[in-house]
């Protein structure tokens, strides 16, 4: 008789919707890492960041239209927005000053947050959430 795998109880198994959400996020993260994004700079030549919920976020945009929409929403469409095109992987792996995450297309319906946690940013700049991510 072949050995049987131990039964998983509801408390042992990750809920199916959580598994799907993790896979979808991994896919989106992979796409972000493989594509170039626009990263605006502030008046001092630093990455343009915002703070929300005690976390610093580097703002990145998928294209010029998304950046222009953001500028209009802030009432700053008339000023010049200096930016660089940076590969998403480079932004996460090299340019994130810790601890900070990346906010892609902030303020839009398609916006996405990449928080400063292990598996997204380098461990040296990651925030330990005690295994909750």
Of the listed ranges 37-41, 46-50, 85-89, the least confidently predicted one is 46-50
Domain boundaries, the chain: 36-125
What's the pLDDT tens digit per position in 104-114?
999 899 899 99
Residues 85-90: what's their mean pLDDT? 96
Check pLDDT > 80 for residue 13: no
Q: State whether CATH 1.10.10 applies to domain 36-125.
A: no
- The model's pTM is 0.79
Kindly state the tokens that stand for 26.
Answer: 């991994």
**Binning pLDDT at 50, 70 and 90, where does residue 129 land?**
low
**Binning pLDDT at 50, 70 and 90, where does residue 89 land?**
very high
* Residue 133, CA distances (Å) to 7, 22, 67, 114, 122 in order: 25, 10, 29, 12, 15
**Binning pLDDT at 50, 70 and 90, where does residue 123 land?**
confident
The C-alpha atoms of residue 94 and residue 86 are separated, in whole angstroms, by: 11
Check pLDDT > 90 for residue 133: no
Q: What is the pLDDT of residue 82?
A: 94
In what helix (H) or strand (E) does residue 40 lie, and over which residues does it extend?
strand 36-40
């Amino acid at each position: 008789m072949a050995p049987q795998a131990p039964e998983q109880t509801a408390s042992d198994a990750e809920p199916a919707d959580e598994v799907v959400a993790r896979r979808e996020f991994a896919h989106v993260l992979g796409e972000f890492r493989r594509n170039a994004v626009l990263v605006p700079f502030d008046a001092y030549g630093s990455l343009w960041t915002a703070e929300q919920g005690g976390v610093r976020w580097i703002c990145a945009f998928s294209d010029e239209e998304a950046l222009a929409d953001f500028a209009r929403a802030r009432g700053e469409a008339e000023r010049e927005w200096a930016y660089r095109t940076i590969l998403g992987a480079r932004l996460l792996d090299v340019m994130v000053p810790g601890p900070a995450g990346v906010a892609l297309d902030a303020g839009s319906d398609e916006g996405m947050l990449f928080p400063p946690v292990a598996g997204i940013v380098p461990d040296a700049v990651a925030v330990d959430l005690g295994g909750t991510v």
